[in-house]
Structure 1
Amino acid sequence: MRQRLRRLQPRSLRARLVLGATLLATSAVLLCQAAGLVVLHTWLTDQVDGRLSRFQPVAEAGQDIVEGRAPAGAPGGNSDVLPSDYRVYFYGSDGHRLARSLGGEEGGAGPRLPSSESALGLHDGRPATLAATDGGSAWRVIARSGADGTRVVVALPLREVDAATVRMLWFSLAVGVAVAVGVVLFGSLVVRLGLRPLVGVERTARRIADGELELCVPDRHVVTEVGHLSRALNTMLDRLRTALRRAEASEQRLRHFLADAGHELRTPLTSLQGFAELLVQEPEMRPERRHEAQQLIVRNAERMSRLVDSLSQLAKLGDVPATQWQPVDLLSLAADSVAAVAVQYPDRRIGLGALTDTDGDPQEAELDVVDALGDPHQLTQILFNLLTNACVHTPPGTHVQVRVGTLRIRPDGQGTDGEGRTSANPALAPGTPVCAIEVTDEGAGLPATEARRVFERFYRAGSAQQSAAGSGLGLAIASSAAEANGGRLELDTRPGDGCTFRLLLPYRPTGTSAEYLEGRARPSLSTPAAGVGG
């Protein structure tokens, strides 16, 4: 039985809506018509009761019947004694109903009255309904007490009441059928028009599911539920497309990263394997050659160790932000880094000065303490990598300048993306006060195509691309560390104008802790951060 009912249930939303609207409308009409029938029947019955209450039988005719005589003025019958179809019946003082009555024809249809007054069961002045003797329409009767203990029963047929009620019933059924047909036809049209936008959404969703991922759901119906659904689907599709593009880009970067890492590790591994086999195959090798081979093995092992350490550090920087947040004096940090790098590159002139936020002469600016909040070890490594990069990629004797100061981010200024300026970190909002360190060299600069790639891992610009001295991870580490500290590392360069690497750390009042970075987006391990340099 349940399976049959399930088969009869409409499966489409359109059919369900039309069926529901039809049932509701038809039920409402039928209920209203039924209420009207009840009211009409009650009203007509009350009219009959009013006529019965106002009617007074002819006294002389009633007395003649009680005494056993024919009614006066009715020699051949008594139909002319009473108006219309009234019927008057009498019960004698002995409690039995008299055979003769007033009104109607002898033997005609009338109410089914009992033969004795005790079985009558009528109260004076209270109308009641009795069945007809011929099985037709019922009769409405009322009883009154007469003279000498007699009882008078006045009756009126309910033929007209029943006829009016039957006509109203058929009319109600006809109206109900007409309403049902109209609701089905008109409702189908309205539902089809109303669901047309939803059908469009369904078609677009199918095309998207078939592979047309760039499609959008039309949302012309802004104020409707379909419009809200369309906007929600478009938002979801935008996010899915963005996630897919990011996943594809991340996968491509990861493949390139693994290929580059394998390539970088293959060279020292091959050297290690070759010199180790040489030592094994020639046990009688001269001491000078053996010592040379051992030194080359040590150098390649150190190179591999540095490369693995750099990759491990990048993974850690991409996993969690800086954890040892504390106030850092950027001026002291810059001075220490300059001193450390100057020892390794004595042929470079490295200067330390103040960074000004005005158009005045930088030489006239005064050095001052600049306190920033961050991880001092990571900030030291950023500056050390920038200075090393400047020394490695410029000719001997090139002047390198380090400047420390404070800035306020302006539109199209430092801290934002623009022509000749590139970064792997997000741009800072205009108006943000920042603590800044600039490392500027007077080298040849970089063309735009190379400048856009300097923060990629394993990328080495110019002649450094063939150099085995660097791994191409220095700027990658610096960029990831800058983002881990909530800042930005950017490069300003043009061919012939040298390079300016700028570290920007948003100013935060004393007392700010590592909780500042809670909820910040963290670089994904599967998405290699920009990186390199030399």
Structure 2
Amino acid sequence: MHQSLMERWSRVSLRSKITGVTVLMLTLGLLVSGIGTMAMLRQYVIQQVDAQLQADAQTASNSYSAAALGQGTTAVVSSDYFVALYDEHGNLKNHTWRERPARELPQISIPLDLQTVIELDGKTMTLKDGAGDTQFLAVAVPLVISPQGTLGTLVMAVSLKPTENTMATYLTIFLGFGLGVVLVGALLTRLLVTSTFAPLREVERTAAAIADGDFSQRLGGATPNTEVGRLNRSLNTMLSRIDRLFKDRARTIDQMRRFVGDASHELRTPLVSVRGYAELYRMGALQSPEEIAQAMERIEKEAIRMGGLVEDLLELARLDETKPLALAPVDLIPLARDAALDAMASSPGRTVTVVSAAPAEFDDTTDRQAIDLAHSTGEVPSTPGPAPKTEETALPAGSVSFAGATLARLRTRKPRKTDVPTPPAEPAPETAPVSVQAVVMAEENKIRQVITNLMGNALRFSPADSPVELEVAVDRRNQRASIAVIDHGEGIPPQIRDKIFQRFWRADTSRARETGGSGLGLAIVASIVASHNGTVQVVDTPGGGATFRVWFPLAGSPNAPQRLAPTTP
């Protein structure tokens, strides 16, 4: 039974519960207050009647005594009082209300001899009429009933029916007003609960829509400083995060599918070539040494191509693992100089120049157009904007300005294993150094890879005789430094700038070998820059071409990545 009641109660709506409980408490409060007030009021009225009765009885007793002794006249008693005279033995001698029937007269059930009356000492008695319907208050007092001084008893009684009528009238008025208060309270409570719970009904509808799969639903309509408003704000924040996580998950799954498909496509082509040449050799179709040498050369090239692709994939996998970086202060100027030297060695007919931007304030509007890289997705939207003004100046001591095939002061840098031997050239004239301190906290090898990939992209997609500039800039106000690779090729259309950092994405959908790599170079750039809390920006080069500008927080700035591993000298 108890469990059944609890189940029924649990099935009642919250609005009905609150309204019912409020009405119940209001009704109980009115009943308690009404009953208590009526009881106290009745007692008070009876006390007043009792006091008045005793006073009138004493006055009437004195008046009757004086009249019996011949000292005055009998006082007139109000007809509301029942008055009776008894002798000293308790025998009735006379009484008022003779015209009324006996059932309406108070019935005295105690002896009224003089001794008993003296023992009562004027205390009030409660009597009933002959029918037993009406109560009376009565008092008995001794008095003189004869000129000889004989004592008797005066009994005076008053009906409590007017008092009961007053109490009944009060109860009727109270019940009427109480019922009205309960009804108005129930209506107002229902309206208040309904209006207060309107945002909760919106929450219910929104939750139902979300349960159906519409994660774009949001809650609103509640005052922010209320409980429901704070609940809505928290739920909206939670829904935004869930929606973002689902979108990220869907995007990740889509990218993974595309990544697997692209990787399969890229690896299948060289594998088919290698298998084809191997089958030709096995079937004896390659007869002459020249044909065998040509087949082996093709197999080697395809193997090299597959090796490069696998290395890029492994590099992306390592970057996705977000392993701690071996951070150390890195100056971008020497890195730009080394990248220029490497480009000059691989493309002797190309003019490569290293320039530094004047340390002026950068425009905040253009500055904010650089979009933070999403390391998890590898997608970096880019916004075109004007590049900061630069001036071609000499770099610190030992720096180089490149023109044509001239490698000035090349012997000041120790040769690396990867350097391509170049013919000696005349040194460029000495110029005054410029104080540009582009020092960032980074892993040097990673930053070199970023510059190498951007330089390779610029050399691949610009004419062989067009110049390439490497620009190093410092934004003191925002505490960051940048290195930009500027080419003068065909440029990048705005509609594809948000795609070029995706893995395996290439502007040339034919995937011809002559157009370059597999589309992983800029994806690696995006991942490396994101791991260093940096941003990348793609803008048009004045006069034609594309400018890839990478920003890194300066060493010591709040946004700089923290040192996570010791560095080696």
Q: Normalization by structure 2: what TM-score?
A: 0.69
2:537 aligns with one of 465, 490, 497: 490
1:48 aligns to what SS in structure 2? helix
1:236-385 equivalence runs, <5 A: 237-282=239-284, 289-290=291-292, 292-320=294-322, 323-358=325-360, 359=389, 361-363=391-393, 366-367=433-434, 368-385=436-453
1:15 aligns with 16
Tell me how far 1:190 sits from its aligned partner.
6.0
Q: Which amino acid aligns with 1:498?
A: G
**C-alpha contact 1:443 1:496 (8 A) present in aligned 2:** no
Output the CA distance in 2 between the equivalents of 1:163 and 1:43. Answer: 15
2:554 aligns with 507
Output the CA distance in 1 between the equivalents of 2:116 and 2:172. Answer: 38
**C-alpha contact 1:444 1:495 (8 A) present in aligned 2:** no
2:481 aligns with one of 429, 435, 447: 435
Tell me how far 1:259 sits from its aligned partner.
1.7
Q: Which amino acid aligns with 1:491?
A: V
Q: Which amino acid aligns with 1:168?
A: Y
Q: Which amino acid aligns with 1:24?
A: M
1:44 aligns with 45
Structure 2's unaligned 5+ residue stretches are 145-149, 361-388, 396-432, 565-569
Output the CA distance in 2 between the equivalents of 1:122 and 1:197. Answer: 76
1:363-442 equivalence runs, <5 A: 363=393, 366-367=433-434, 368-408=436-476, 431-442=477-488
RMSD: 4.5
Tell me the alpha carbon deviations over residues 255-294 of structure 1, each in whole angstroms, 9 at most, x when there is no partner. 2222211111111222333344445555996666555544
Tell me how far 1:382 sits from its aligned partner.
1.0
Q: Which amino acid aligns with 1:350?
A: V
2:416 aligns with none
CA distance 1:248–1:40, change in 2 (3 Å): same
Tell me how many residue pairs correspond in the alignment.
481
Output the CA distance in 2 between the equivalents of 1:15 and 1:401. Answer: 75
**C-alpha contact 1:140 1:156 (8 A) present in aligned 2:** yes
CA distance 1:345–1:322, change in 2 (3 Å): farther
Q: Comparing 373-382 with 396-405, which one deviates more in the overlay?
A: 396-405
2:470 aligns to what SS in structure 1? strand
1:363 aligns to what SS in structure 2? coil
Output the CA distance in 2 between the equivalents of 1:300 and 1:118. Answer: 141
2:80 aligns with one of 81, 84, 98: 84
Matched, 1:472 2:519: yes
2:107 aligns to what SS in structure 1? coil
1:424 aligns with none
Output the CA distance in 1 between the equivalents of 2:359 and 2:495. Answer: 29
Q: Which amino acid aligns with 2:480?
A: V
Q: Normalization by structure 1: what TM-score?
A: 0.72
CA distance 1:360–1:196, change in 2 (3 Å): closer
Tell me the alpha carbon deviations over residues 205-233 of structure 1, each in whole angstroms, 9 at most, x when there is no partner. 65565566656556287777666666665
1:29 aligns to what SS in structure 2? helix
Tell me how far 1:455 sits from its aligned partner.
1.7
Q: Which amino acid aligns with 2:254?
A: Q
1:136 aligns to what SS in structure 2? coil
1:447-466 equivalence runs, <5 A: 447-461=493-507, 465-466=511-512
Tell me the alpha carbon deviations over residues 485-520 of structure 1, each in whole angstroms, 9 at most, x when there is no partner. 011122222596223222211223289974489xxx
Tell me the alpha carbon deviations over residues 145-200 of structure 1, each in whole angstroms, 9 at most, x when there is no partner. 88999987754442222232233223333333344444455655665566666656
CA distance 1:372–1:228, change in 2 (3 Å): closer
CA distance 1:171–1:111, change in 2 (3 Å): farther
Output the CA distance in 1 between the equivalents of 2:339 and 2:390. Answer: 27
Tell me how far 1:477 sits from its aligned partner.
0.6
1:135 aligns to what SS in structure 2? coil
CA distance 1:404–1:515, change in 2 (3 Å): closer
**C-alpha contact 1:204 1:216 (8 A) present in aligned 2:** yes
